[in-house]
Amino acid sequence: MLGVDTFQFLNVVGSVDSAKGWNDAEKEKLWLYNLHYFDDLNAAGAEDRVAWHRALIARWVEETPPGVGNGWEPYPTSLRIVNWIKWALQGNDLEATWTDSLAVQVRWLRRHIEWHLLGNHLFVNAKALVFAGLFFAGDEAAEWLAQGLKILRREVPEQVLADGGHFELSPMYQAIILEDMLDLVNANGAWPGHVPGDVVAQWREVVPRMLCWLKGLTHPDGGIAFFNDAALGIAPDYAALEGYARRLGIEPVPAKPAETHIHFLDSGYVRMERGDAVALLDVARIGPDYLPGHAHADTLSFELSLFGQRVVVNSGVSRYGLGQERLRQRGTAAHSTVQVDRVDSSEVWGGFRVARRAYPFGLELSECEDALAVVCAHDGYRRLPGQAIHRRHWRLGDHFLQVTDTIEGRFHEAVARYHFHPEVTVTGEGGEGMLSLPDGREVGWSVTGGVARVSASTWHPGFGQSTPNQCMEVVLDGSEATVELVWK
């Protein structure tokens, strides 16, 4: 919140200086959603903006009639309910009309639970009911609490896999749901004795596993990997969430030793770490079969950090909603993997839809004296006339990474793309060249079985952001090509 009626969401600044501004058709829907979340009530330095916040709450109650507009959709309603209650718990008094409005919002939410969407939307609906049931007193509040807990009893084991990953398989949503879990533990501490002990025990048991997963999908720079819908600046990073957990008396799972694989068996991601390199591999399904809304066609993509710096990246996401740019960012060509015959490995469409999708198979992890190795294939191109299979083999040593792509079956064209961080400069063409890292180090690259060309692309580290970067496209000569990166 930049002023009494000025906001910056998704890296876009806008004003809301009249009642119409709450539903301004010229603004993107996600920007308006953020406006109605009221996240700034609990943001850093919020105590310096209390007068703004009080004026904003008063305006919202006056200018957004029940059930009308973006702010009354179930998802923003859920986040706003929690944010208002958190703000009140910090010692800010809710005026009587605001408390009445809060109760109306909860009643409305209870009649509009997002059963049709499920996933993270249903989770935050339930969280809001729990917060409201704890905050208010009486029979109606007890019903809110009971319904919220009933949903969470079912959804926590459904949505949090045994390896700690959130089942939508997005590192960003992992962090969002992890913060929700910590908030629930925290709320139980604020109102002890209202939540059954077995439920609290479940919440506290889940958190360390979720932290372990998030740490595994975090680069050395502290930010998440870009698999499926993922961007920086939307959810707290690993360090912030670990600190939150420790303040609640929850210790993270002890870290596994480096120089090895970490395989998240249930979600399907692999972390390889050796010497100065960290490689994060997507050998996962795109998400739950019944809920692929945040999926990208990124199967067998990977990201690489060297010397603490991102080098190979996926392109990220800068927008939701409909449109060609959203489709492009979800498509295979925007990721560091192989595209066959110019189609996506999974058929992404609309803003949040997937038709036929890739399934990985044949995963093998091995280790020898000089390298870690991972092999996996997927069947996303079996729907093409040539019934092609893409198989990828990674070998990570102390000073090298080899990536070998094999296409089994008939095809016209196969292109392996390597997207590089904007601060990495790529030189060379054809069969060899150099990567210049931001700290001045150099990494040699070479290609066998294909021809490399360097093209201009864009990287999207956050919503509303598009940064020029370089992409190396390796066109396979035959059925197999290898790219090798070598560093000192």
153: Cα separation from own chain's centroid: 23
Name the residue type at position 53: H
pLDDT for residue 256 is more than 80: no
**Contact indicator for 404, 447 with CB cutoff of 8 Å:** no
Q: pLDDT digit string (tens) for 58-80?
A: 999 999 999 999 999 999 999 99
Mean of pLDDT over the chain: 96
Residue with tokens 């943001």: 43
Q: What percent of the chain has pLDDT over 70?
A: 99
Q: What is the mean pLDDT of residues 89-112?
A: 97
pLDDT in tens, 152-176: 999 999 999 999 999 999 999 999 9
What is the average pLDDT across 32-60? 97
Structure-token pair, residue 435: 């990567």
Give the strand order in the sheet containing 360-367: 360-367, 372-378, 389-396, 400-408, 480-486, 442-448, 432-436, 425-429
Residues contacting 110, CB < 8 A, separation 6+:
129, 144, 147
CA-closest candidate to residue 81, choices 132, 130, 41, 29: 132
Mean pLDDT of 305-327: 96
β pairing state of 432-436 and 442-448: antiparallel
- pLDDT range class, residue 456, cuts 50, 70, 90: very high
pTM of the model: 0.96
Mean pLDDT of 215-222: 97
Q: What is the pLDDT of residues 390-442, one digit of tens each?
A: 999 999 999 999 999 999 999 999 999 999 999 999 999 889 999 999 999 99
Distance CA 32, CA 38 (A): 11
| Residue 205: band (very low, low, confident or very high) from pLDDT cuts 50, 70, 90 | very high
**255 has a pLDDT exceeding 80:** no
pLDDT score recorded for residue 258? 65
407, 388 contact by CB (below 8 A)? yes
Could you tell me which of 129, 226, 153 has the C-alpha nearest to residue 460? 226
Q: What is the pLDDT of residues 113-152, one digit of tens each?
A: 999 999 999 999 999 999 999 999 999 999 999 999 999 9
Query: Is a pLDDT exceeding 80 seen at residue 257?
Result: no
3-state secondary structure of 468: strand
Q: What is the phi/psi pair of residue 353, to 5°?
A: -125, 155
Check pLDDT > 80 for residue 311: yes
Q: Please, are residues 215 and 252 in contact by the beta-carbon 8 Å criterion?
A: yes
pLDDT score, position 260: 83
Q: What is the pLDDT of residue 259?
A: 67
